[in-house]
Chains A and B, each alone.
Chain A
Amino acid sequence: MITEESVSWDSLLQDTRARLAAAAPYVQAGKQVAAADAVKLLEAVLRPGDKVNLEGDNQKQADFLAGCLCRVDPAQVHDLHMVQSVLSLDRHLDLFDKGIAKKLDFSFSGPQAGRLAEYVRAGKLEIGAIHTYLELYGRYFIDLTPRVALVAAYSADRNGNLYTGANTEDTPVIVEATKFKQGIVIVQVNEIVDQVPRVDIPADWVDFIIQSPQPFYIEPLFTRDPALITDAQILRAMMVIKGIYAEYGLQRLNHGIGFDTAAIELLLPTYGEELGLKGKICSYFALNPHPTLIPAIESGWVRSVCCFGGEVGMEEYVKARPDVFFIGPDGTMRSNRCLAQTAGHYALDIFIGGTLQIDRYGNSSTATATRIAGFGGAPNMGCDARGRRHATSGWLRCGEEYGLQQEMTGGLPRGKRLVVQLQETFREKMTPGFVEELDAVQLAKNAGLALPPVMIYSDDLTHIVTEEGIAYLHKCADMQERMAAIRAVAGYTDIGLQEDPQETAALRKRGIFKTAEDLGIDPARANRSLLAAKNMRELVHWSKGLYTPPARFHNW
């Protein structure tokens, strides 16, 4: 029998108090801890097996705290369960090398994908699951709640109020999940100030602030130099603008990262203008502050941009365009990745992006047999939001065209998000973009994953655009037809060479496959002269000098 005395309803809080007491010797004025004491602080507050969030997404990084965590004594702190958006720094994996951490739940591992796969094979690291951003944030509030969070901010005041500014990103969701379950929040800040420009995170959600020796690292992930855009990308961009954006009148969009979508952005003020589409397409974006969007913004195409994160060099430009971006009372942008992903999931009519492999059924993935790359946020937008209940014309039209609509809903009206993959039939080194089976299937076997890491499933994919044309896959009535439409756009890959010309001709007649010529586009016009800006310098010029590209892009 359970006696009343044996039940404790605040064991987490008591445990936290004990940990905070252990940390007391390192605390200076208020919540400040010296950088030199950071490792000791971590040893005082961490316990073996803790779930720990180390802030880092594909942009900003709590890199100083990551380095400190690598230096704790593994005899004292070990077998941590890391729950974090992105593995991008060497330090993130060093933790597993040293035995400080054992298990990992995450979203994206771009730059570390090869080493991650190696560690899984060697048994140094156990993967819980590979998530999308929203899915991982959701689990922070269910079964992956961090006991300790290590996050980054631009500045803190002496009480611990934080300013996270344009790179707010994941901080609010991490801190809220941690603090409201009695966890401990440790912050590295670039500077400690008398007054923060605005309060992004209130002081009473923060336990310790450490002024880091260096400002936190930010990756300019979304910067694409227009000088590197190819004619083939311009051709695909022309087809997208005419055959999809104009066709469905798409006003609410997300562009995946890459040169293909950069080409689309740079064609709006030229080719888009020529087609008379201004005001009819591309008014609202959920998008990072892409430098290649500047010409479209300056030409009056874009009414609003909701950002997932900040982009290095775009701060002043963004500040000077408060009608377009979400700017705080202090005059600087705030990006909240959780809210932007929610917007991306529910409020967009189209997701468009590139991928590495599409299989013959239309499933796609960026994983290869030796690289566990993860997803980031793309699948939250690259899917049909099944909970959506508001109508827009493009969304409704796609639903009307959906070949299985009658079968699935008895003909009741329901729209469908357009999910578009831009694919080069062959990439560099003649790697085919269309394959019999995704490498992700083999990867799942190698890494012991319950699910192959599929970025976009076939039943969500509505269009594929290659240099051959556009496949309007959602119009297909069954999988056989879908596979034929995929063969039609797959070019000279092994999948494409299985094409039956008669079958393709029939699909063309029904508007399921359209070539550039069918769309009234002359492929010979696909030329760099169509780009509104042809290099970084022209982007700076369009921005009236407000955009300041990072040094590595400063090539004039």
Chain B
Amino acid sequence: MALQELHYTFRATEPQPFPLGWSHSGVVGSGDMEVMFERCMLDGEIRFKVVTPVRGFERVWEQVLGRFVNETNLADVSVEINDNNATPVVVLMRLRQALKEARKEAEG
């Protein structure tokens, strides 16, 4: 199935930096996804690029990513998601786990 590319931009209320310059986690297995975070100057914004085979869920992606930004306040980071039919719950869980791992790694 043809992949589609979705783009979303959010602005956190109390901007927090991503703890690492770059991180990668997850695998693009069926029902799963991989996510890459890259710290960059975005004037307090967070940008998502989602590559997904599933059509018709643009609004759900916006809600899920918006919720992640709301609870983490991440800013100045570019996020790339390669999705292979992950459900919203898996998306949110992978994002949270990726951030947790990055924090752990940053603490050394």
Contact = CB atoms under 8 A, between A and B. Distances in A.
A410 B54 CA distance: 53
B90 A232 contact: yes
A429 B60 CA distance: 14
A389 interface: no
A390 B63 CA distance: 47
Contacts, number: 49
B31 A491 contact: no
B87 interface: yes
A523 B87 contact: no
Interface stretch (A39-47, A150-158, A206-214, A419-427): A419-427
Interface in A416-469: 424-430, 466-468
B90 A430 contact: no
Interface string B77-108: 00000000101111011001100100000000
A524 interface: yes
Given A428-B31, A492-B60, A235 B93 contact: yes
Given A230-B31, A523-B96, A524-B97, A491 B85 contact: no
A203 interface: no
Contacts of B85: 428-430
A470 to B, nearest CB: 14
Given A430-B54, A492-B64, A497-B63, A232 B89 contact: yes
A231 interface: yes
B87 A232 contact: yes
A526 interface: yes
Nearest to B88: A492
Interface in B21-72: 30-31, 54, 57, 60, 63-64
A523 B31 contact: no
Given A230-B31, A430-B57, A524-B100, A491 B93 contact: no
Nearest to B54: A430
B54 A230 contact: no
A554 B67 CA distance: 42
B52 to A, nearest CB: 10
B54 A523 contact: no
Contact of B89 (A425, A428, A497, A527): A425
A417 to B, nearest CB: 28
B97 A492 contact: no
Contact of A427 (B57, B87, B93, B97): B87
B89 A426 contact: yes
Contacts of B31: 230, 428
A424 B93 contact: no
Contact of A425 (B54, B88, B100): B88
Contacts of A231: 90, 93, 97
Contacts of A426: 87-89
A430 B91 CA distance: 12
Contact of B87 (A425, A468, A524, A527): A425
A155 B21 CA distance: 69
Contacts of A497: 63
Contacts of A428: 30-31, 85, 87
A523 to B, nearest CB: 6
- Please give me the 3 A-B residue pairs with the lowest Cβ-Cβ distance, nearest first: A467-B89, A426-B87, A524-B100
Given A425-B87, A491-B89, 11 more contacts: A230-B90, A424-B89, A428-B30, A428-B31, A430-B57, A430-B85, A492-B63, A524-B96, A524-B97, A526-B93, A527-B97
Interface of B: 30-31, 54, 57, 60, 63-64, 85, 87-90, 92-93, 96-97, 100
Interface of A: 230-232, 235, 424-430, 466-468, 491-492, 497, 523-524, 526-527
22 contacts: A230-B31, A231-B90, A231-B97, A232-B87, A232-B93, A235-B89, A235-B93, A428-B85, A428-B87, A430-B57, A430-B85, A430-B87, A466-B89, A467-B89, A467-B92, A467-B93, A468-B89, A491-B89, A492-B60, A492-B88, A524-B97, A524-B100
